[in-house]
Structure 1
Amino acid sequence: MIEDMKEMIIKECVPILNNLRKQTTTSTTSENILTGIIQNVNTISQLSSFPVTIKNATSFQTANQHEQRLRQLISKCYLRIGTWEHELFNITDDSILAEIMKNYKYAWKYDNSNYKAWNAYAILNYDAVNYFKQQQQNLDIFNDTYRILIAKMICCTISAVKGLFKSIILSKVKYCLQNTLRLLTLLFEYGQYHEVYEAITEGNRTVPIEVWLYVLPQLIARIDSSKPLVNKLIHHLLIDIGQQHPQALIYPLIVASKSIVHDREFAANRVLNNMREHSHTLIHQALIISEELIRISVLWHEKWYKGLQVALEQYSTNRNISGMIETLEPLHATIEHGSTTVNERKFLDSYGNDLTQAHEYIRRFQQTRDQNELIQAWHLYYQVFTCIRTQLANITSLELEHISPRLTINCQNLELAVPGTYEPHKSSITIRNIQSSIKIITSKQRPRKISIKGSDGYEYVFLLKLHEDLRQDERVMQLFGLVNEFLLTNDETRRRNFTIQCYPVIPLAPNNGLLGWIAQCDTIHTLIKEHREKACIPFGIEYTYAREKAPHYDRLPLLNKVEIFQNVLNSFEGDDLAKILWHKSSNAEIWLNRRSNYIRSLAVMSMVGYILGLGDRHTSNLMLDRISGKIVHIDFGDCFEVAMIREKFPEKIPFRLTRMLCKAMEVTGIDGIFRMTCEYVMDVLRKNRDSLMAVLEAFVHDPLLSWRLLKNNNNNEQQSTTISKTSSHLPEQQHYQSHLSIINEEDNEHESTVGEKIQQQHNQESGQVIRAVEIMNRVREKLTGNDFHREQPIDTPTQVELLIQQATSHENLCQLYIGWCPFW
């Protein structure tokens, strides 16, 4: 090890010394100087004196014109020594920590513009804070050791804050996302200590306000912090952002202002009220856009259809009368407030009398408990339910003037920027108008496709979604943006154009938002369906064949499942995707280019998805770009391997690499571009693991998202999500019965007492902390090659090979739920 270090010192330092020696009269070669200095260095500790020895040994150290280069050389030496010590030794030893800290300090003192020195210093202190935090967790707060650890934590936090701000200033990247997120983590955890608060306040004066634009989701998530100093600092930051970049802040702030948590709503409205002083028109316009987009995302017809469906299940299956009434009352309250649009007036004309009469029967039942009243009510409700179902099936588009006259009349030539387009220091692309016709996408949730014309003359197309929290997708896009930066700064990955397709994600409410429309893309599911219809091939032929061989396939023991699964694969070619790529290409050159792009994009997201723990990659969550051939992933609701820990149909695979995907590759299959791309990308991810860990740590500890990570909380939701997504693949009746069983489980839960609820909240918070630690440890294992728990960390090619084996294992694939389409 020491000999390797000596060689590295000479290799790094000789070019610098040669540069300096050209301008001096010394006859001694640079290599002779260095060799003479380090020939007696035999231990790591002796290396610490090496930079000082260089300074004393060189004959040109006093020349002013050479002093700066000499200081840079010495800074690099101290940084290299500190880095070696950091990698070789454990920071749990105070003396080792102090020694590493000393070398990093010398590194930035000799060269104050050395980004790597400041960054290493900041990360060392950041790691030390986390270590001290773990040490004090099980100690009594009155214990002397606890107080000593708190003092150390505060000291290291202040040093980390100083280093992070300096790193952000010196970073070649315009705005250093990972270090900004580390700063926020320290602010949220330790900002209540006055010394830390002062350090962050002082450091904030040295960086441009634009630094915080890229972490607005994280700032907004803590807007209602219970720590006064933290709350104060976040409030001041948001006020400053609102003054200089109101367009960037307006959408996320409006989402927070609609929170059902009072403190969060109040904090958001404080900032909004401040912004009204200088951006009143902008806020007024944003509120109209937000409210009306939420209105058009679900019509009264859809709201009542969904509500009656749930109420019917509560009434007929569970006999949960109180639950049924609780479901129906908000719906009746909606129509009692009156209509404001043409569509709502038509609804009342068609169903108003029946619903009012049914509501009267429900009220009589509540007074008399006469079951006949309930039967009469449901006679009317069911009649309305069947009529709405038929009507909805025929509605494929909507006219804006019928569903939201305010958007038609009041939303022309606005000051408000088109969602997702704002960039600092550039002219805002404002909303000119919204297209009058809105298309309804045929799926379970019936999202809308809307088009907004910008002041630049271009059309900006979005998917308006309801009943989905898009804030997690928004954080995932942050991560993908950072990964793209890493891929573009690496020579090999940049030359091959390895990037992830990103798109705007703009939450409008906690369960509603806009997704940037990915043009010229179709889901794999849609492409295969169209291809088989043209070829007169039954759409679910593999599943039908499996059912013929084993009617209760899902209940079979594993060995029998594998046997049936392999039998199905041997009976069908599974080359649909390969044929699609060929048939949709006008010549061989275009086909070859598309196929290469397809393989590369699939490999990039396989590796990134594995690190993120991305699950539920069924064929409706993978899209294919018709022009470039690139694979685009959508729907990032299942992260951090939650799909692997669900109760029903847990996933066993790290990413989707089924037979159909492999057959669409080159003649060598996965042993070509795919494997090479995986290795390049995984190597980049592992080299940048500290930055990725910083982003993912902020992700995991986000209070708006952390509830998803709990195993118990996730099970019901995940199962419901899984079943809903299989609706296009499974027979309708089977899907309906499965849906009923899930709702039954949820509705049969007993009401908790106040004491039980408090205990549940405490257990939930503890569970979130434990789960967060588990997740971060798992991500760290993946990024260090320890994910397969070998005696030694494995190298990148071995890691990729093992992952491919897992992803293509028939034993793993046959256990997936049928809607995931493992046969494809």
Structure 2
Amino acid sequence: MNFEAVLFYKNQMQQSGVPTQAGDAPSGSYINDSQRSGLTGQHIRDYTVPAVKGFFRSIALSHGSTLQDTLRLLTLWFEYGQWGDVQNALSEGLRAAPVETWLQVVPQLIARLDSPRAGALVHQLLLDVGKQHPQALIYPLTVASKSTVPTRMQAASRVLRSMKEHCADLVQQAVMVSEELIRVAILWHELWHEGLEEASRLYFGERNIKGMFATLEPLHAMMERGPQTLRETSFNQAYGRDLAEAQEWCKKYQRSMNVKDLTQAWDLYYHVFRRISKQLPQLTSLELQYVSPKLLMCRDLDLAVPGSYNPSQPVISIARVESMLQVITSKQRPRKLCIKGSNGKDYMFLLKGHEDLRQDERVMQLFGLVNTLLVNDPETSRRNLTIQRYSVIPLSTNSGLIGWVPHCDTLHTLIRDYRDKKKILLNIEHRIMLRMAPDYDHLTLMQKVEVFEHALEHTNGDDLAKLLWLKSPSSEVWFDRRTNYTRSLAVMSMVGYVLGLGDRHPSNLMLDRLSGKILHIDLETGTHPT
């Protein structure tokens, strides 16, 4: 009740626009925070402090999942942690709470590592977690240490330096593995292709010369540092001279402000871009000896297999990384990676570049909370209503690992294969729509709906239903799969609506061929909890 009271008074005072009295703030420096929070000192003492103490008590007495209580506690901490009474309650609770409590909210803690209101306590808590569970912290801290926000980068680096005092090898291995996986996730060819495309858009589309230089300068700096692998050496030999000459023309422009110099530079950039564009479709596999010899040499590390750490189980460390990576033929060209664990098992991952997976990580965290609620309710538990999850391990702000889910295909792939076998055009619905309305794009909304309904009336639309039936060995299996499909789709439709998850289409909805459950991927468009 205290937590609800805090939220109630905060909303009430913010809606009324009544500023908090300066005398209620814990000190003059917190007057602005106090006004923004919408609570008086009396509210803090009567509701916030008891709520903090209550959550710590609930966490201590709980025998099941404490994620919901922990997230609510963090909400109070990060919102009101600057108040002296709240800070005292937090310090007292942190000393008594088991360190394992915080393993489930490491992303939230690291996100607030540089917070002026909560940073000091968060820093100390992460030091305590790092001493007892370094494997749980090492990957997210390595990401934070590469942050473009100087204060966060420095704070994360301080925690890493502290961890080096008791597990130096682990920190060194984590930094090396992280850097090498990032190198493999986005090759120089891809970095330059993406960079030149963006720079071209900024210059020719927006006439933003400053933005163009900001995009190109890090790429030229990378070239000046020199290649470290055979693949990078090959790129340097093929394109290094042209790119260096283009850079000289850019520098000449910065001195002369003569647009002809930029034109000369872009003639060279375009030549490089066109050659790279022809090479990229041939990128179907990667050998570690050419793209990351350091990863190939990794043997029997102390570092845990990404996403495998469980404080109550023995650590499954990296025994080695398979030498060949398959490149998936999609727009971003993710790599299929296999890591051999110390337990002898193979752990498959999708190594993705060009994407920030930190939000996907938070969404998976929320799915875990939803699953806890569904399992604890007798009705939803009886119906086996759960969300299928997978591990998400960010490596940087634009790359990361996603746990490979076996036996899954996208709905697009399944429907395409089915229609190919049945000699049905893949885009038959679209063709019918264009036949009825060749100027479809210029129609009004209601006219488009009418054309769409016409296409539905003239096609069966039962591809998935037929698929589930044809691929099931018995009617019993078919019934189970159909039930799982319906229920998993319904659960994710509900949760996706609450999240605001959009951009759902057949290429980011997957079907588990064995269970029939629906799995959602590419969740970066969703919102996420604090």
1:514-525 to structure 2, matched below 5 A, reads 514-525=401-412
1:216 maps to which residue?
106
- Give % identity: 54
Q: CA deviation at 1:546?
A: 1.6
> Residue 348 of structure 1 corresponds to which residue in structure 2?
236
Q: What is the letter of the counterpart of residue 181 of structure 1?
A: L
- In the TM superposition, 1:247-396 aligns within 5 A as 247-396=135-284
1:170 to 46, 61, 65: 61
Equivalent residue, structure 2, for 1:153 = 44
Matches of 1:181 and 1:554, distance apart in 2 = 46
Q: Is the counterpart of residue 499 in structure 1 residue 499 in structure 2? A: no
Q: Name 1:624's counterpart in structure 2.
A: 511
Tell me what 1:577 maps to: 464
Aligned counterpart in structure 1 of residue 131 of structure 2, from 218, 224, 243: 243
The TM-score, its normalising length taken from structure 1, stands at 0.60
Alignment CA distance shift 1:639-1:313 (3 Å): closer
Q: CA deviation at 1:326?
A: 3.4
How far off is 1:436 after superposition?
A: 0.5
Paired residue for 1:611?
A: 498
The 5 Å alignment of 1:36-115 reads none
User: Does structure 1 residue 549 correspond to structure 2 residue 436?
Assistant: yes
Superposed displacement of residue 383, structure 1: 2.2
In the alignment, the residues of structure 1 paired with residue 256 and residue 90 of structure 2 have an alpha-carbon distance, to the nearest angstrom, of 64
SS at match of 1:624: strand
Q: Shift in Å at residue 254 of structure 1? A: 1.2
| 1:380 partner letter | L
Displacement of 1:400: 0.8
**SS class of match (1:569):** helix
* Amino acid paired to 2:328: I
- Describe the superposition over 1:166-205 as per-residue Cα deviations: whole angstroms up to 9, x where unpaired: 11122231x4111111111111122222222221222223
Q: Which moved more, 1:539-548 or 1:440-449?
A: 539-548
Question: Structure 1: how far apart are the matches of 2:265 and 2:54?
Answer: 68
CA distance in structure 1 between the aligned counterparts of 2:162 and 2:397, rounded to whole angstroms = 23
Structure 1 Cα separation of the partners of residues 200 and 49 of structure 2:
59
Q: Are the counterparts in 2 of residues 128 and 153 from structure 1 also a CA contact under 8 Å? A: no
> 1:331: how far off?
1.9
Between stretches 431-440 and 178-187, larger displacement belongs to 178-187
Runs of 5+ unmatched residues, structure 2: 26-33
- Counterpart contact for 1:154–1:190, Cα < 8 Å: no
Deviations for 1:720-751, whole angstroms, at most 9, x for unmatched residues?
xxxxxxxxxxxxxxxxxxxxxxxxxxxxxxxx
- AA at the equivalent of 1:439: Q
Distance 1:312 1:611 in 2: 38
Change (3 A) 1:393 1:224: same
Q: CA deviation at 1:296?
A: 0.9
Of 199, 202, 218, which aligns to 2:89? 199
Name the structure 1 match of 2:30: none
Larger relative contact order, structure 1 or 2 (CA cutoff 8 Å, min sep 6): 2
Q: Aligned pairs, how many?
A: 516
Greater C-alpha radius of gyration? 1
1:281 Cα deviation after fit: 0.7
In the aligned structure 2, how far is the partner of 1:143 from the partner of 1:305? 55
2:418 equivalent among 531, 552, 561: 531
1:545 positional shift:
2.4
> In the TM superposition, what whole-angstrom CA distance separates every residue of 1:732-791 from its partner, at most 9, and x where no partner exists?
xxxxxxxxxxxxxxxxxxxxxxxxxxxxxxxxxxxxxxxxxxxxxxxxxxxxxxxxxxxx
| Aligned equivalent of 1:753 | none
Q: Which amino acid aligns with 1:134?
A: N
Shift of 1:503: 0.7
CA distance in 2, matches of 1:363, 1:415: 47
Instruction: Tell me how far apart the structure 2 counterparts of residues 250 and 358 of structure 1 sit (CA, whole Å).
Output: 40
For residue 210 of structure 1, give the secondary structure of its aligned residue in structure 2.
Answer: helix
Q: Distance in 1 between matches of 2:217 and 2:100?
A: 46
Q: 1:361 to 1:231 in 2, by over 3 A?
A: closer
1:36: which partner in 2?
none
1:413 aligns with 2:300: yes
Closer, same or farther in 2 for the Cα pair 1:622/1:379, shift >3 Å? Answer: same
Between the aligned partners of 2:185 and 2:352, the Cα distance in structure 1 is: 7
Deviation string 1:141-161 (CA, Å, 9 cap, x unpaired) is 446788993222233112112
Alpha-carbon separation, structure 1, partners of 2:183 and 2:520:
28
- 8 Å contact from structure 2 (residues 393, 400) kept in 1: yes
- Hey, what's the Cα distance between the residues in 1 that align with 2:217 and 2:393? 31
Q: CA deviation at 1:316?
A: 4.0
Give unmatched runs, 5+ long, in structure 1: 1-123, 641-695, 703-824
Distance in 2 (CA, whole Å) between partners of 1:369 and 1:233 is 51
Tell me: CA distance 1:333–1:136, structure 2 relative to 1, closer, same or farther (3 Å). same
Q: Are 1:132 and 1:153, in contact at CA under 8 Å, matched by a contact in 2? A: no
AA aligned to 2:10 is K
The corresponding residue for 1:590 is: 477
Distance verdict in 2 for CA 1:376–1:162, change over 3 Å: closer
Q: CA offsets per residue over residues 318-359 of structure 1, 9 Å max, x none? A: 444444333333222221221110001111121222222233
Q: Does the Cα contact within 8 Å between 1:225 and 1:231 map onto a contact in 2?
A: yes
Q: CA deviation at 1:135?
A: 4.3
Residue 555 of structure 1: how far off its partner (Å): 3.4
Question: Counterpart of 2:172 in structure 1: which amino acid?
Answer: H
User: CA offset at residue 507 of structure 1?
Assistant: 1.1
User: Distance between the aligned counterparts of 2:355 and 2:292, measured in 1?
Assistant: 22
* Amino acid of the structure 1 residue aligned with 2:303: L
Shift of 1:136: 4.2
Q: Is residue 489 of structure 2 the alignment partner of residue 602 of structure 1?
A: yes
Q: Secondary structure at the match of 2:361?
A: helix
Contact preservation (8 Å) 1:132, 1:149:
no
Match of residue 18 from structure 2? 139
- Report the 3-state secondary structure (helix = DSSP H, G, I; strand = E; otherwise coil) of the residue aligned with 1:205: helix
Report the 3-state secondary structure (helix = DSSP H, G, I; strand = E; otherwise coil) of the residue aligned with 2:40.
helix
**1:126 correspondence with 2:13:** no
Alignment partners' CA distance in 1, 2:53 and 2:260: 73
CA contact (8 A) 1:420 1:506 kept: yes
Shift of the alpha carbon at 1:535? 2.4
Instruction: Determine the structure 1 residue equivalent to 2:73.
Output: 183
Residues 199 and 212 in structure 2, CA contact (< 8 A), matched pair in contact too: yes
Which SS does the other structure have where 1:638 is aligned? coil
Task: Please tell me the residue identity of whatever aligns with 1:613.
Answer: G
SS in 1 for 2:340: strand
Secondary structure of the residue that 2:97 maps to in structure 1? coil
> For the Cα contact (< 8 Å) 1:133–1:153, is it kept in 2?
no
Give distance in 2, aligned partners of 1:322 and 1:143.
44
Q: Deviations over 1:234-292 (max 9, x none)?
A: 11111110010000011111111111111111111111111111011110000001111
1:382 Cα deviation after fit: 2.2
Cα offset, 1:497, TM superposition: 2.0
State how far apart, in whole Å, the 2-side matches of 1:418 and 1:467 are.
Answer: 22
Q: CA separation in 1, counterparts of 2:122 and 2:481?
A: 47
Q: Distance in 1 between matches of 2:98 and 2:210?
A: 55
Tell me the distance in 1 between the aligned counterparts of 2:59 and 2:205. Answer: 59
CA contact (8 A) 2:186 2:354 kept: no
Counterpart residue number, 1:449: 336
Counterparts of residues 416-431 of structure 1 (less than 5 Å): 416-431=303-318
Q: Partner of 1:565: helix, strand, or coil?
A: helix
Q: CA deviation at 1:165?
A: 1.4
TM-score (norm 2): 0.92
Task: State the distance in 1 between where 2:219 and 2:101 align.
Answer: 44
Alpha-carbon distance change, 136 to 499 in structure 1, aligned in 2, over 3 angstroms: closer
